[in-house]
Chain A
Amino acid sequence: MFGLADPCNPVFLVHGLEPEDHHLIVVCPPAPELGGGRVASRERFLVMASDRIDIRHVAKLARLALTEDEVALYGAQLGNLMSHVDALAQLDTAEVPATAQVIPSRNVQRADALRPETMLTREAALANAPQAQLGFFRVPRIIGEEG
């Protein structure tokens, strides 16, 4: 995972400078083209981000065992798409709250009671399992051998 001080990732977020927004700060040297360790604008950040997508790292996060051909293909395509997406930086959203849900909504609660019509039997729940055993999903070993 990207850490806040990940050397591959010279950009990190400082939270709390303003309550409604976060600031992007470039800290890791050497990046003279960005003004070396100073605060870079969001726009600068976006433009540079698409140039250095580590596709292998992203694939690892996404749990995809890409082939070498795919790394080359998706790396190029992702870079191309992100350049298109970078245009968003020009849209002024300083005064705008984020929208996760466009429909007026409220918290939804229900009685803490069984709903048999939506419950699967154990048999039904396991019916699509690639491997099942003794009423459980069977998976490869997760915990290493003792010793």
Chain B
Amino acid sequence: MDPIRDSAAAIARAVNAHEVSAAEVAETVLAHVERADASLLAFRTLTPELLREQARLVDARLAAGETLPLAGVPVALKDNLCVTGTRTTAGSKILESFVAPYTATAVSKLLAAGALPVGKTNLDEFAMGSSGENSAFEKPRNPYDLDRVPGGSSAGSAAAVGGFETPISLGSDTGGSIREPAAFCNIVGFKPTYGRVSRYGLIAFASSLDQIGPFARTVEDAALTYDAIAGHDPLDATSVDRVAEPTASGLRTDLRGVRVGIVKQFDLASLAPDVRACYEAAYADLERLGATLVEVELPTADYGVATYYLIAPAECSSNLARFDGVRYGLRVDGADVGEMYERTREAGFGPEVKRRILIGTYALSSGYYDAYYLKAQKARTKFAQDFARAFERCDVIASPAASTPAFTFNAKSDPVSMYLMDYYTIPISLAGLPSLSVPCGAVVPEDGTRPMPLGLQLATPLFAERELLGIAHAYERATQHAQKLTPVTESTMSLRAPSGNLA
């Protein structure tokens, strides 16, 4: 068993079988990450003490006869997830020295399942961005071309898994922040139904959209991770109080009887010819596996980005009002308390966060609320209705996860062009649906020399995570696209296929 290259499922099997201890896995991975991250910059903070303490605990539990679903599986955590006693920055200067006084429920659950926390990963500041470039600190790089972005906002969590630093990680997705970086980094990124995973301990961006979810190199590993973190939590009032069916036991090998909806408005003709060909091939593969393709309508599709960029900044401006230099984080002194607030926030927030606070404040200000925020909430109802209608005719919707592969650093200087990166992911977020991106091929970008991965986005009705992961597994198993690329960071080593995904 190789803890760097094997799947989470394979690592857990070996650790549960006492073939290797969690402590040995921890030391191997820590040494590897310390070396590999010099070029990837996925991590903001490594947590060796926490890692070793947890490894000892896991070994003790296994010695006492327990079997744990993620025994000894290294995990990277997006740095907007609080972990007691650990620096948690949200990628912002305003929280540069913040040490969390409590632990997020999703993290507690991962630890209870036996996972080993390696560290906290870089992100776009407060999870606002689609490239990782909005981090106030290190900007993570794409493991398949270090001159390109890994996507965002869960930039480091995607780079860590795509670059074979850890087999799994946690990210958060508000408008595409798990699915887009997963597509860019040749991995699986899964956003569960809104409310499925507790947001307790997740630093809030847009509370009606934020959802925690896993990254993994296989659908099976994403399912195992999701199964460990899903479920009702009394500490999050928006957490859904219904049983989260296990998904790892529902992985399919064919798609017979599955109706796949192709959204008429998501016209592939607008994509570059090679990107388009890749998605056409993906749809054909779904059909080859037994699925029936049906055209469905999403008449509101073109309003998604506009709707999102009212709702998310409005909620952000409200959530980030708490950063005022009083209780935690940066303080810049002023003559009175008002000046202290203004100087603290001016110095502590980066450009994208300020932009969104300004948009949100404007959209919520007196006289504009109805025209903007209320209008966007009504548009949101239309998205939910349109998807409900579409799912009368199909079981799953397939689309691109992003319109291009990963772009180079500084390629998108205009905020709106960056916002449009989330064109395919935002409508699904507005409707709260479970959705994932699974590798579906690669193209050589016009301005590049290496093939860069693309992701197929799949989405199912609310709470249909088991069906979603089952379908994605059948596609992954038949196509094996992720195995066809090798990260530049690992190109000198011979990679073998993860062994856990073909059971």
Q: Which residues of A contact B430 (CB under 8 A)?
A: 102
Q: Point out the residue from A101, A128, A142 that lies within 8 Å of B101, measured CB to CB.
A: A128
Say whether A64 contacts B349, CB under 8 Å: yes
> How would residues 331 to 375 of chain B score, 1 for a CB under 8 Å from any chain A CB and 0 otherwise?
101111111111101100100001101110110011111111011
Q: Point out the residue from A53, A89, A96, A128 that lies within 8 Å of B328, measured CB to CB.
A: A128
In the complex, B257 has a CB within 8 A of chain A:
no
Q: Which residues of A contact B366 (CB under 8 A)?
A: 1-4, 6, 9
Nearest-Cβ distance from residue B267 to partner chain A, whole angstroms: 18
In the complex, B426 has a CB within 8 A of chain A:
no
In the complex, A17 has a CB within 8 A of chain B:
no
Q: Which residues of B contact A53 (CB under 8 A)?
A: 362
Say whether B327 contacts A91, CB under 8 Å: no
Say whether A88 contacts B303, CB under 8 Å: yes
Q: Point out the residue from B101, B362, B378, B385 that lies within 8 Å of A98, measured CB to CB.
A: B378
In the complex, B451 has a CB within 8 A of chain A:
no
Q: Which residues of B contact A131 (CB under 8 A)?
A: 331
Complex Cα distance, B462 from A27, in Å, reads 45
Say whether A85 contacts B306, CB under 8 Å: yes
In the complex, B380 has a CB within 8 A of chain A:
yes
Q: Which residues of A contact B327 (CB under 8 A)?
A: 125, 128-129, 137
> How would residues 123 to 139 of chain A score, 1 for a CB under 8 Å from any chain B CB and 0 otherwise?
01101111100000101
Say whether A130 contacts B331, CB under 8 Å: yes
Q: Mark out the residues of chain A between 77 and 126 whose CB falls within 8 Å of any chain B CB in the assembled complex.
A: 77-78, 80-82, 84-89, 91, 93, 96-103, 105, 108, 110, 118, 120, 124-125
In the complex, B169 has a CB within 8 A of chain A:
no
Q: Mark out the residues of chain B between 395 and 438 whose CB falls within 8 Å of any chain A CB in the assembled complex.
A: 414-416, 419, 430-432
Complex Cα distance, B358 from A77, in Å, reads 10
Contact A2/B367 with A88-B375, A141-B337 known, Cβ cut-off 8 Å: yes
**Which of under 10, 10 to 19, 20 to 34, or 35 or more describes the interface residues of B?**
35 or more
Contact A64/B415 with A12-B367, A140-B340 known, Cβ cut-off 8 Å: no
Complex Cα distance, B365 from A89, in Å, reads 18
Nearest chain-B residue to A3 (Cβ)?
B366
Say whether A96 contacts B382, CB under 8 Å: yes
Q: Mark out the residues of chain B between 270 and 300 whose CB falls within 8 Å of any chain A CB in the assembled complex.
A: 300
Chain A interface main SS type: loop
Q: Point out the residue from A103, A128, A130 that lies within 8 Å of B195, measured CB to CB.
A: A103
Stretch of B115-123, B145-153, B232-240, B479-487 on the interface side:
B232-240
Say whether B193 contacts A103, CB under 8 Å: yes
Q: Point out the residue from A13, A98, A105, A142 that lies within 8 Å of B336, measured CB to CB.
A: A142
A-B contact pairs, 14 of them (CB 8 A): A49-B371, A67-B346, A81-B309, A88-B376, A93-B375, A93-B381, A96-B378, A97-B381, A98-B381, A99-B384, A100-B377, A103-B194, A105-B238, A140-B339
B-side interface residues toward A, CB under 8 Å? 97-99, 101-102, 193-195, 208, 234-235, 237-238, 240, 300, 302-303, 305-307, 309-310, 317, 321, 324-331, 333-343, 345-346, 349, 354-355, 357-359, 361-362, 365-372, 374-382, 384-385, 414-416, 419, 430-432, 462
A66-B346, A82-B362 known, 11 other contacts, Cβ within 8 Å: A6-B366, A61-B361, A63-B342, A64-B354, A85-B306, A98-B374, A102-B430, A130-B328, A130-B330, A137-B327, A140-B337
